[in-house]
Chains A and B, each alone.
Chain A
Amino acid sequence: MAKENKTNINRRQFLKSTAIAAASMAAIGAGVTYIQKYKRDENNAQELLRPPGAIDEDAFLYACIKCGLCVQICPVHAIKFAGINEDLAYGTPYINAREQACDFSCDSIQCAETCPTAALYFIQFKEAGLKAIEAVQQQGPEALKNINPFEVQVVAMKKVTHIGVAKLNEKTCLAVKGKGFSGTPRGENFNGVLRPQSIKNQDGSKIRKAYPLKEQKYEREICDLCVTECPIGEEAITLKKTTNPDGSVSYKPNVLEGCTGCGVCEMICPTEPASIVIEAGKTYEEVYS
């Protein structure tokens, strides 16, 4: 009898704890979902970017298991974890392009390649790379001799990246004002690194290593750093020159459809705040029409 009573009490206690557990889980679930949704909706023009290859934000939030492999593998340490005080869901990876942009230094979108849960989806890059190599192969064996297939693959992979689209603020842009720039773009205390595009090795080949931006000196009569340092090149951004009716010349960096939103232009822009900013996750049409 006593034993039976005890099991009854135990059962009642267990049901009570279960009810409390269920209620608290429901509250937590609702809370977490609400906070994540709220954070995203409130920050439509958020400045934080998702790493290359990130799938649709809604799916990204569940696909990302917050393991940190992308954070670990990035050679320029562009990818960071979001804390609870940041404008993104806790523990998800982001890139703050103004602090450190993705300059494609790894040459193979490693962050997406390493992601085990396809929150950063790599297959698109792989396919684009293979397609590009196939296209070269179809030109015959002669074409392969003059071309580095690795380079072809890398370029193709870069081009399918879509993090966002750069948008120019014409009011502050030095080029639009007709001003030049000389010196280090972000000052002596800036810690970001960049693989320079406009500076070449002495033998004329491309520089492979990323150097601290504070070590770079630039001299420009008209500031065109965002144009010349763009890792994609003239398919993404050009300096448009217009001759006015009165004979004077005006300039403007012109963002094109090839822009991947990597954020190098935002990082290197010497004005404070940056005159060119990446609109996270948006398409070219959404920003420019």
Chain B
Amino acid sequence: MSLFSKKREPLPPKKNDEMPHSKLGMPYKEWMGMNEDRHKWRNRRWAFLVFINLLFVISFALDLSLLEGSLSGSRLLGFYLLDPYNSFQLLAISIKTEYLPYLTMNFVIGFFTIVIFYSIMGGRSFCSWVCPYHFLAEWAEKLHDYLVKKKKIKEHSFQRGLRYVFWAGFILLAFFTQRLVFETLNPVGILSRAMIYGPGLILLWVLVIIAFEIVYSKRFWCRYVCPIGATWSIIGNISPVAVKFELDKCGHCRKCQDVCLVPHELWFVTRGKATNEKHYVGSDCTRCGYCVDVCPGDALNFTVKGLDKIL
């Protein structure tokens, strides 16, 4: 749900003859199985994620100036990009010290480039399109779901608001300890550095988080802790690139919610919940495209807000 949308009364639930399968004259079950094996966006996304991370590795291994550094801070063809959460922590530290005047122009460029880029791409698109931890966690999630289904373990969930507690907490921690405490724990940075510059013992920590996600709580780090993801959620709030939902094509099968990494963002697919004919998925969405792939009626699609009206 976007921060700026007003609360409205839901539209009346669709009648049976308004459902997409009745319009096509198909039985509901058959209609539901329509795009079962479509993995277009997932394949694109995985390819891109591997490509970006490989670009880092290759740049270091072959000494090329393509994409240098790591996910904490990098240079793309000589152009700086900086992790905004690190930057926020540094700014918090600078309140107490006189460090701020020494920050370089490259810092300013890197910070604003990334903020502008992700405020256009929207939501947590960094997470599913770039983050190497996300890639691991996707497999951990599959394993977790399998174990829950087999009743080997129980699902534990927490409030999503916890992410903002950690977000503020780690900034305060940086302020009080004068250290970038979070960067020492950050599995994104750890994995990125390990891939590019060689592994270290610190990978055990990533293993601990993954194990915790598998046996205790689904997507624990990404959903309830990661302040980097929270930063992207805030930055990507008003982005033009989003997933658009069209009510008239929706058959309320909720398969999209089953595959979604952040199902609460698809609240409007439940029958009788949607308040508009069209909805845009909010800023927690990672733009992963699972729902776009799976939707039998193609009710969910990537779009650029504003542009879709012109075209």
The yes or no verdict on A and B being binding partners is: yes
Number of residue pairs across A and B with beta carbons under 8 Å? 143
Would you list which residues of chain A between 46 and 72 have a CB under 8 Å from chain B?
55, 58-59, 61-69, 71-72
CB-nearest residue of chain B to A36: B179
Q: Are A116 and B196 in contact (CB under 8 A)?
A: no
A174-223 contacts to B, CB under 8 A, are none
B106 touches A116 (CB 8 A): yes
How far apart are the CA atoms of A17 and B225 in the complex, in Å?
Answer: 11
- Smallest CB-CB separation from A58: which chain B residue? B178
The answer to whether B162 touches A17 (Cβ under 8 A) is yes
- Contact in complex: A65, B83 (CB < 8 Å): yes
Given contacts A10-B159, A67-B73, contact A83 B68 (CB under 8 A): no
Q: Is the CB of A116 within 8 A of B110?
A: yes
Contact between B90 and A65, CB atoms less than 8 A apart: yes
Q: Among the listed stretches B33-41, B163-171, B301-309, which one makes contact with chain A, having 4 or more residues with CB under 8 Å of it?
A: B163-171
Q: Does B243 contact A (CB under 8 A)?
A: no
Q: How far does the alpha carbon of A115 sit from the alpha carbon of B83 in the complex, in Å?
A: 14
Question: Nearest Cβ in chain B — how far from A66, in angstroms?
Answer: 5
Contact B193 A68 (CB under 8 A): yes
Docked-complex contact B107 and A116, CB < 8 angstroms: yes
Contact of A32 among B110, B181, B189, B200 (CB under 8 A): B181
Contacts of A122 in B (CB 8 A): 104
| Any B CB within 8 A of the CB of A117 | yes
- B239 contacts which chain A residues (CB < 8 A)? none
Q: Which of A26, A28, A55 has the most CB of B within 10 A?
A: A28
Is A18 in the interface zone, CB < 8 Å from B? yes
Q: Which A-chain residue is minimally distant from B180 (CB atoms)? A: A62
Please give me the residue from chain A that is nearest to B172 by CB atom.
A25
Q: Is the CB of B162 within 8 A of A91?
A: no
How extensive is the interface on chain A, given as a class? 35 or more
Interface residues of A in 77-117 (CB under 8 A from B): 80-81, 83-85, 89-91, 114-117
Contacts of A80 in B (CB 8 A): 197
Which residue of A14, A22, A36, A67 contacts B72 across the interface (Cβ within 8 Å)? A67
Additional pairs, 4, CB under 8 Å, beyond known A18-B165, A29-B176: A59-B97, A62-B180, A66-B189, A114-B75
Chain B: interface residue total (CB-CB under 8 A): 51
Task: Sample 25 A-B pairs with CB under 8 A, ordered by A number.
Answer: A14-B161, A17-B159, A18-B162, A22-B169, A25-B169, A26-B173, A28-B185, A29-B181, A59-B97, A62-B174, A65-B90, A66-B189, A67-B72, A67-B73, A68-B72, A69-B68, A80-B197, A81-B200, A84-B200, A90-B184, A90-B202, A91-B193, A116-B80, A116-B104, A118-B104
Is the C-beta of B59 less than 8 angstroms from some C-beta in chain A? yes
B193 adjacent to A84 (CB under 8 Å) = no
Residue of B nearest to A115 (CB): B104
Kindly provide the distance from the CB of A214 to the nearest chain B CB, expressed in whole angstroms: 21
Distance, CA A55 to CA B261, complexed state (A): 43
B74, CB-defined interface residue at 8 Å: yes
Q: Does A21 contact B (CB under 8 A)?
A: yes
CA distance A61 to B161 in the complex (A): 30
Q: Does A73 contact B (CB under 8 A)?
A: yes
Binding site for A on B (CB under 8 A): 59-60, 68-70, 72-75, 80, 82-83, 86, 90, 93, 97, 99, 102-104, 106-107, 110, 158-159, 161-162, 165-166, 169-170, 173-174, 176-181, 183-185, 189, 193, 196-198, 200-202, 224
In the complex, A43 has a CB within 8 A of chain B: no
- Residues of chain A contacted by B74 (CB below 8 angstroms): 67, 69
Supposing A21-B165, A21-B166, A83-B202 touch, asked if A65 and B72 sit within 8 A by C-beta, the answer is yes
Q: Are A121 and B73 in contact (CB under 8 A)?
A: no
Within 8 A of B (CB), among A24-39: 25-26, 28-30, 32-33, 36
A66 touches B200 (CB 8 A): no
A13 at the interface (CB under 8 A from B): yes
Which listed residue (B69, B83, B169) contacts A68, Cβ 8 A? B69
Q: Which residues of A contact B198 (CB under 8 A)?
A: 81
Which of A10, A73, A80 neighbours the largest number of chain B CB atoms within 10 Å of its CB? A73
A263–B217 alpha-carbon span in the complex (Å): 50
Residues of A close to B102: CB separation below 8 A:
55, 118, 121, 123
Least CB distance from A35 to B in Å reads: 9
Q: How far is the CB of A142 from chain B (nearest CB, A)?
A: 36
Given A65-B82, A72-B59, A116 and B174 touching (CB < 8 A)? no
Contacts of A59 in B (CB 8 A): 97, 99
Q: Are B202's CB and A84's CB within 8 A?
A: yes
Complex Cα distance A18/B169, Å?
10
- Closest A residue to B108 by beta carbon equals A116
B73 CB contact (under 8 Å) in A22, A62, A69: A69
Bound CA span A278–B110, Å: 35
